[in-house]
Amino acid sequence: MTAFAEAFHELQSGWRPRMTLSVAAFAVAALAPLVVGEARTADLANGLYLACAAVGLAFAIGVAGLPSLAQGAFVAVGAVVAAHLLAWGAPTAVAAVAGGVAGGLSAALVGAAFAGLPPAGFAAATWIVSWLFAFGLQSIAWFLGGSRGLVVAGGPSAAQHYELALALTALAALAYLALARSPIGLRLAAAREREPAALALNVPVHSLRVLAIAASGVVAGVAGALSVQLAGVGDATQFGPFLSFRLFVVVLLGGALAPLGAPAGMLVLGVLSVAADFVGRLENVAASRAHTLLTAIMLLGVVSLGWEGVLRAPARRRWAAGGAAPGRSPAATLDARGLRKSFGDVTAAEDVALTIEPGRITALVGPNGSGKTTVLRMIGGAVAPDTGTIEVPHGSVARTLQATSVFPTLTPLEHVLVASAGRRSRAGLVRSLLATPQARAEEARYVAHARTLLDRFGIPPDVPAGELPVTDQRALMIAAAYATGASVLLVDEPTAGASHAEAARVVGLLRSLRDEGLALLVVEHNLGVVRRLADRVLVLDAGRVIADGPADRVAADERVREAYLGRSAL
Amino acid sequence: MGRVLLVLAVLLALAGCGGKSSPSQRTPLTIVVDGPFSRSPYLGRTIENGARLAAREVNANGIRLGSKTYELRVRTLDTALSPARAVANMRRAVEQEAIAVVDEGTGIDASWRIAAKPGIPIGVVFEGGRQIVDPEARPNVFRIAPTDHGLAFRLAEYLIPKGLKVGLLHDDSDYGVAGGQALASAFERNRSSVAIEQTLPADALDLAPQVLRARRAHATGLVVWGRASTIASVLTAARSAGWDVPVFTPPAGADPFVRQQLADHPQWVDGLTFAGGRLTAEIGTGPFLTFEQKYESSFGVDRVGVKTSGGQAVIVPPETAMYAYDFVNLVAAALLKAGSTDPAKVTAALNEVTTEGANGDQRGFNHNNHEGVVDDDIYFARFHDMTYTPVKDDPLSATLPAVPQTR
């Protein structure tokens, strides 16, 4: 009961007039079967099922940045499974669940195969998948009875389907909102905005994308399963690539970043379809052709005008904070031996050995092209060494990128939450969806910790990171890396382009982290910074370590002077 | 002012009394035509026209039931050859309180239940699948069109004695699949007459590999059951390869699309033989030609779009329109018999009425038989010079006169 009371209180405190309008709209919509006939109710129910599938797609596109053109195929998978189960006499609920599972599994497979592609590649691959599914349905009569269809008798009435579809669409929109604001949604958003930066913070980008596309597939599968029962027949012609295309347009039209964007898009397309029917009748164009034409025009309009859709993203979440700070991983030492990496004929690193110890800052310096970033990437796990070993406890390394790489639309607070999500034990899919008391309590602790951290780093927590000064963005990258809980931080050129005062701020931050017991490896060009910062300096030349020791000793090394420091001195 | 109102009231009262009821005073009864208007426009339109012609004739006097006079109003819905659309259309027909549905046949397996609840009768006028009509299980489904079963058995009966080794080809459309099953059943006891059985992809542009396979199987005749496009593709593949194999088809062979596709090679159509419901009755061509004349004066001539070698334009006899026309006339008769506009009572009455069909045959159903075209009425016709005439080597067909097809 406490959990419900807590949730109710949270809902009450965050209530907005827009929410009242949404609830009122749903209440009015629920009365539709009372005023329209059965045929129109069935049409509306079918539209709502498609809107439900579109909400799933909106999550994949808007939050995860996966422009899937296969959502219609996942709807079809749900429909096929449900049609067979219903034909064997299974209850509606069983068929719906099975359809959802089948839709989710097929989507997960597609995600696993293609989620690593860039957005255009993913769109192309899923479009091909959509065609393959359509060919399969049309050619193999077993799936949906071929051109005759697979008859599905019985089940709820059109009005019951309508209410069910309305409830499911509302639930899907709420699930979208819950997931988008959860650690899963934040990390997906981060990966969507800057994948390399997300990877540097140990965000499991591929796994999360597969999860996102699978979740959208589950919604599509349930929608397909119920819509096939509503139709009374499994009909392969209803699940062609045009369905995927239509759902895609609906999402873009309504707004991919808004949970209710897809239903809004469906509404707009529905109204325009009625107009198209009217014009089609005047021009003697068949309705089906008029709809295809209309949908294509809508897509062109949305794409060419750069329109964000009818509905915009909801207001930022107000994060509740409180509770004890989460603990950090124990101090760890990173020990690398015999690292070698070649790119074709070019050897970027040869027999590199280094140890990064807790409570010490190790600087890695060298002329341009000496292999510093390659060594950093090998240690960070971004590239695998050809030979050599790296010994460090799993998940205890995080790094910042050479270029300033924040997630522009996320706030610094959200950055830190993205980074710290990997440490949380109650931020999985189910807990995120249900917002269990334990999950909320854990979240509050991490939010409190994030605010403290940002305060310590002097970064305003609630503005979009893209609007921060560059030095704040640099500091934010370090803060985010720290927030991962890693005990070994790899920092790539933290003062690049910084003024003397800004560099001093970064130096101070890195020293404070060292003093906390973290092990730091800093790649830096500003030799003055290195001298002030580093406890130990490694010098690379042509991929090899040519000097290793305290800054003063290295500065005096003749080989270093010859290879790298000929024009100046440390 | 009071006097003016009094005069108006008297005039209104007089207008409502006695004499022949004007159409505006009649209560409309909706006949829904459910056809593939967007995917197979000719078929959809010809069904619609047949229904409209019958409705127009019925409306000349109206249907008087008790004190009320009714008229038939035809509304069309497009199935786009999609079973799901057909189900949605049937819901719409129920919502519009249709008195009957004239249906091409797509999706009937799913949609008949929806019409069965209020008892709306469905008249199938094209699809011949065996499962479509079942007086016991589907009491509201009737058919006036040759059955696949009848066509297939007549084809078997016609071809087997000729000693042909036939290739049974059907496409994977609804129509083709049902026909393929009927053919398999018809040739079941004479497997030695079958050289090969193949399923063809509907809408494929090139069927040369499948036709070549049939040739290599030493087929000496082809029975092609599928959409008109499939038949045209088979003829193209066979004739362009120099294979002059005789080709036999269901009524789809007479679809204008086949001749339109092969307009550049009229000789490839020569010899094409199709089975269909006969257009003329024992009493001669008179009734059908009268119907055709009425049809043409209402809707114009359906031109194939090709000419004979003598330069005459080829037209399409309104065969499917005839079936729709007959079904609407039967519904009108059933309304009178039932004395009610309750669709369920009309369905029951349909089992008890007969009318004279457009071709002069008696049309009607009974409680045990909802088929309006008997298998014995199936005849064969062969193309020559873009028009067809009944064959002479089949006892029934040999007695039938040719229907003029040029203008």
A152: chain B residues, CB-CB within 8 Å: 110
Under 8 Å CB-to-CB from A159, ≥6 apart: which residues?
Answer: A33, A38, A41
Residue A45 sits at the chain B interface (C-beta within 8 Å): no
Mean predicted confidence (pLDDT) in A155-176: 94
Instruction: Tally Cβ neighbours within 10 Å of residue A226.
Output: 30
| Interchain proximity B84–A42, CB inside 8 Å | no
Same domain, yes or no: B263 and B338: no
Q: What confidence score (pLDDT) does residue A1 get?
A: 46
Q: What confidence score (pLDDT) does residue B11 get?
A: 46
User: Distance between CA A498 and CA A470 in Å, rounded?
Assistant: 8
Count the helix, strand and coil residues of chain A and give each as a percent rounded to the nearest 5: 60, 10, 30
Which range in A97-106, A147-156, A338-347, B271-280 is most confidently predicted, on average pLDDT?
Answer: A97-106
> Model confidence at B113, in pLDDT bands (50, 70, 90)?
very high
Q: Tokens at residue A1, please?
A: 């009961």
User: Distance between CA A23 and CA A64 in Å, rounded?
Assistant: 27
Q: What confidence score (pLDDT) does residue A288 get?
A: 64
> Model confidence at B119, in pLDDT bands (50, 70, 90)?
very high
Instruction: Tell which residue, A273, B130, B107, B72, has the closest CA to residue B122.
Output: B107
Same domain, yes or no: B314 and B262: yes
Q: Which helix (H) or strand (E) holds B68?
A: strand B68-78
Residue B91 sits at the chain A interface (C-beta within 8 Å): yes
Using DSSP bridges, classify how beta strands B221-225 and B166-171 pair: parallel, antiparallel or unpaired: parallel
Q: Which of A37, A233, A237 sits opposite B87 (nearest CB)?
A: A233
User: Distance between CA A248 and CA A67 in Å, rounded?
Assistant: 8
Helix, strand, or coil (residue B386) = coil
CB contact burial A253-291 (16+ within 10 A = b; e otherwise):
bbbbbbbbbbbbbbbbbeebbeebbeebeeeebbbbebb
Helix, strand, or coil (residue A195) = helix
Q: What is the pLDDT of residues A360-378, one digit of tens each?
A: 999 999 888 889 989 999 9
B9 pLDDT above the threshold of 60 = no
Mean predicted confidence (pLDDT) in A309-323: 80
A285 pLDDT above the threshold of 60 = yes
Q: Which of A139, A148, A231 sits opposite B109 (nearest CB)?
A: A148
Identify which has the larger pLDDT, A306 or A409: A409
For chain A, give the mean pLDDT: 89
Find residue B166's DSSP bridge partners: B194, B221
Helix, strand, or coil (residue A94) = helix
Give the minimum alpha-carbon distance from A450 to chain B in angstroms, rounded to a whole number.
54
| Interchain proximity B83–A235, CB inside 8 Å | yes
Number of domains in chain B: 2
A565 pLDDT above the threshold of 60 = no
Q: What confidence score (pLDDT) does residue B10 get?
A: 47
B113: chain A residues, CB-CB within 8 Å: 153, 232
Identify which has the larger pLDDT, A407 or A154: A407
> Model confidence at A416, in pLDDT bands (50, 70, 90)?
very high
Residue B297 resides in a domain: no
Residue B94 sits at the chain A interface (C-beta within 8 Å): yes
| Interchain proximity B87–A232, CB inside 8 Å | yes
| Interchain proximity B174–A146, CB inside 8 Å | yes
Q: What confidence score (pLDDT) does residue A428 get?
A: 82
Residue B244 resides in a domain: yes
B175: chain A residues, CB-CB within 8 Å: 147
- Chain B residue with minimal CA distance to A150? B110
Mean predicted confidence (pLDDT) in A266-277: 83
Residue B257 resides in a domain: yes
User: Distance between CA A433 and CA A447 in Å, rounded?
Assistant: 18
Q: What is the pLDDT of residues A428-459, one digit of tens each?
A: 888 888 878 888 889 899 999 999 999 999 99
Q: How far apart are the first and last CA of chain A?
A: 66
Q: What is the pLDDT of residues B154-183, one digit of tens each?
A: 999 999 999 999 999 999 887 898 899 999
| Interchain proximity B83–A146, CB inside 8 Å | no
A151: chain B residues, CB-CB within 8 Å: 109-110
Q: Which of B80, B87, B174 sits opposite A288 (nearest CB)?
A: B80
Q: What confidence score (pLDDT) does residue A538 get?
A: 93
Same domain, yes or no: B268 and B390: yes
Reported as half-sphere exposure (CB side, CA atoms, 13 A), residue A203 has a value of: 35
Q: Tokens at residue B246, please?
A: 């005789």
| Interchain proximity A141–B38, CB inside 8 Å | no
Find residue B167's DSSP bridge partners: B196, B222
Under 8 Å CB-to-CB from B295, ≥6 apart: which residues?
Answer: B49, B50, B53, B318, B321
Same domain, yes or no: B126 and B270: no
Cα B56 from chain centroid?
19
Q: What is the pLDDT of residues A327-336, one digit of tens each?
A: 777 788 999 9
Q: Which of B82, B111, B172 sits opposite A237 (nearest CB)?
A: B82
Using DSSP bridges, classify how beta strands B387-390 and B378-384 pair: parallel, antiparallel or unpaired: antiparallel
CATH code for position B82: 3.40.50.2300
Give the minimum alpha-carbon distance from B173 to chain A in angstroms, rounded to a whole number.
5
Find residue A390's DSSP bridge partners: A336
| Interchain proximity A148–B178, CB inside 8 Å | yes
Same domain, yes or no: B211 and B152: yes
Q: Which helix (H) or strand (E) holds B53?
A: helix B41-61
Q: Tokens at residue A163, please?
A: 């209410």
Q: What confidence score (pLDDT) does residue B19 get?
A: 44
Q: What confidence score (pLDDT) does residue A7 get?
A: 57
Same domain, yes or no: B54 and B141: yes
A238: chain B residues, CB-CB within 8 Å: 82, 84
Residue B405 resides in a domain: no
Q: What confidence score (pLDDT) does residue A5 get?
A: 63
Residue A153 sits at the chain B interface (C-beta within 8 Å): yes
A38 pLDDT above the threshold of 60 = yes
A287: chain B residues, CB-CB within 8 Å: 38, 78
Residue B107 sits at the chain A interface (C-beta within 8 Å): yes
Same domain, yes or no: B139 and B178: no
**Which residue intervals of A435-496 are DSSP H helices?**
437-457, 470-483
Residue B394 resides in a domain: yes
Reported as half-sphere exposure (CB side, CA atoms, 13 A), residue A561 has a value of: 9
Cα A222 from chain centroid?
23
Same domain, yes or no: B154 and B199: yes
Give the minimum alpha-carbon distance from B152 to chain A in angstroms, rounded to a whole number.
19
Q: Which of A37, A39, A147 sits opposite B173 (nearest CB)?
A: A147
CB A411 within 8 A of CB A502: no
Mean predicted confidence (pLDDT) in A406-421: 94
> Model confidence at A320, in pLDDT bands (50, 70, 90)?
confident
Same domain, yes or no: B101 and B179: no
Q: What confidence score (pLDDT) does residue A287 get?
A: 66
Same domain, yes or no: B172 and B51: no
Residue A146 sits at the chain B interface (C-beta within 8 Å): yes
Residue B78 sits at the chain A interface (C-beta within 8 Å): yes
> Model confidence at A194, in pLDDT bands (50, 70, 90)?
very high
Q: Most B CBs within 10 Å: which of A150, A233, A242, as the mutation test of the B interface? A: A233
Q: What confidence score (pLDDT) does residue B174 get?
A: 75
> Model confidence at B125, in pLDDT bands (50, 70, 90)?
very high
Q: Most B CBs within 10 Å: which of A235, A273, A284, A292, as the mutation test of the B interface? A: A235
B13 pLDDT above the threshold of 50 = no
Q: What confidence score (pLDDT) does residue B212 get?
A: 96
Domains defined along chain A, listed by start: 39-236 (no CATH), 334-406+468-563 (3.40.50.300)
Find residue A342's DSSP bridge partners: A347
User: Distance between CA B37 and CA A109 in Å, rounded?
Assistant: 39
User: Distance between CA A397 and CA A379 in Å, rounded?
Assistant: 8
Residue B177 sits at the chain A interface (C-beta within 8 Å): yes
For chain B, give the mean pLDDT: 91
B82: chain A residues, CB-CB within 8 Å: 235, 237-238
Count the helix, strand and coil residues of chain B and give each as a percent rounded to the nearest 5: 45, 20, 35
CA dist list (Å): A233 to A122, B128, B254: 32, 20, 31
Residue B3 resides in a domain: no
Instruction: Tell which residue, B129, B118, B373, has the closest CA to residue A151.
Output: B129
| Interchain proximity B84–A231, CB inside 8 Å | yes
User: Distance between CA A230 and CA A83 in Å, rounded?
Assistant: 11
Reported in sequence order, the residue ranges of B93-230 that DSSP labels E, i.e. its strands, are 100-103, 122-124, 141-143, 166-171, 194-200, 221-225
User: Distance between CA A390 and CA A490 in Å, rounded?
Assistant: 14
B2 pLDDT above the threshold of 60 = no
Same domain, yes or no: B385 and B240: yes
Q: How many CB pairs under 8 A join A and B?
A: 87
Q: What confidence score (pLDDT) does residue B18 get?
A: 43
Q: What confidence score (pLDDT) does residue B172 get?
A: 83
Q: What is the pLDDT of residues B269-288, one digit of tens each?
A: 999 999 999 888 777 788 99
Which range in A313-322, A422-431, B302-311 is most confidently predicted, on average pLDDT?
Answer: B302-311
User: Distance between CA A178 and CA A192 in Å, rounded?
Assistant: 18
CB A162 within 8 A of CB A32: yes
Give the minimum alpha-carbon distance from A234 to chain B in angstroms, rounded to a whole number.
7
Q: What is the pLDDT of residues A466-495, one digit of tens each?
A: 999 988 999 999 999 999 999 999 999 898
Give the minimum alpha-carbon distance from B177 to chain A in angstroms, rounded to a whole number.
9
Residue B286 resides in a domain: no
Instruction: Tell which residue, B136, B135, B138, B142, has the closest CA to residue B117.
Output: B138
Show the 3-state SS of B295-349. HHHHHCCCEEEEECCCCCEEECCCHHHHHHHHHHHHHHHHHHHHCCCCHHHHHHH
- What is the span of the domain harbouring residue B43? 24-146+320-374
Q: Which of B38, B114, B177 sits opposite A148 (nearest CB)?
A: B177
**Range in A289-293, A548-552, B39-43, B374-378 with the lowest mean pLDDT:** A289-293
> Model confidence at A274, in pLDDT bands (50, 70, 90)?
confident
Give the minimum alpha-carbon distance from B141 to chain A in angstroms, rounded to a whole number.
16
Mean predicted confidence (pLDDT) in A322-345: 85
Same domain, yes or no: B235 and B211: yes
Residue B292 resides in a domain: no
Q: What is the pLDDT of residues B239-255, one digit of tens each?
A: 999 999 999 999 999 99
